[in-house]
Amino acid sequence: MHFDGVLPEDAPDPRVKRAKTLNGMPIPVIEFAAQRSVEVTDIGVNSSTDALGCDSMTASVSATLWRKPEDKSDPANLADLDDKTRRSLEEVPPWPRPAWLIERVESMKYPMLWEAVQTSWHRDESELADLDNLLVQHANYILMNQFREEPGLDVHDWDSPALTSKRMIRAGIDVTIDGESVTGAEIDTDPFVYAIGAKLANGGTLTAVIAREHLPFIRLGFARR
């Protein structure tokens, strides 16, 4: 049986299509280094093309945060949700749902490191591929999508002084990738997020943006997926 506006039980998992697209990524995707408090749930991908073909790709890793990974049933792991939101997540509709959708709804009960780690590849060197530009862009993307209400930002306020800028970047920061230290940069002045990044030896760029409230539970190391 089908319902208007409702996914059928056999609807394909969109992650499968994204995984196939990621096969075209010219460089390895970077994610958090293995740790019990971080469980990768999805990898999004964006790309652009020109007359010569694909000229840029960005892979964005999202993960569930476990504050008490030794006991995932511990209430301390739950996200801080209002009663209305939590009830909507717990409500079971009277129609069958795809298994992947049930899994996604369940994950929404826990804190999400949404698009926290990005690997960016650009075919040509330009200002767009600059580490500082990508770090600011990633930080502001997270701020505008997850923290817009706190400083009173409007959806169009991309030039607001409440957002980050290149003036806030501190260079010469050690970033650990695959157990080795490389020189990168950070933004450690924003009240809501911390951002860190580095150029990769293969020509790509790593950026990571994490809500400050989650930092105590995460080890800021990274690894090739």
Number of structural domains in the chain: 1
| Residue 6 lies inside a defined structural domain of this protein | no
Q: Compute the C-alpha angle 113/146/162, nearest 5°.
A: 125
Rounded distance between C-alpha atoms, residue 42 and residue 57, angstroms:
16
Task: Name beta bridge partners: 46.
Answer: 58
Q: What pLDDT, in 10s, does the model give residues 63-74?
A: 999 999 999 999
Q: What pLDDT, in 10s, does the model give residues 12-60?
A: 998 898 888 888 899 999 999 999 999 999 999 999 999 998 999 999 9
| Residue 7 lies inside a defined structural domain of this protein | no
Q: What pLDDT, in 10s, does the model give residues 122-158?
A: 999 888 899 999 999 999 999 999 999 888 888 888 8
Residue 102: both structure tokens together:
């049930």
pLDDT at 2: 40
| Residue 20 lies inside a defined structural domain of this protein | yes
Q: What pLDDT, in 10s, does the model give residues 164-210?
A: 999 999 999 999 999 999 999 999 999 999 999 999 998 899 999 99
Tell me how long the chain is. 225
Indicate the burial class of 2 (C-beta count within 10 angstroms; 0-12, 13-18, 19 or more): exposed
| Residue 3 lies inside a defined structural domain of this protein | no
Which contacts of 15-19 are long-range, i.e. CB under 8 A and separated by 24 or more positions?
A: 15/42, 15/43, 15/100, 18/42, 18/43, 18/44, 18/45, 19/43
For 210, the domain range is 14-224
| Residue 4 lies inside a defined structural domain of this protein | no
| Residue 108 lies inside a defined structural domain of this protein | yes
Rounded distance between C-alpha atoms, residue 2 and residue 6, angstroms:
7
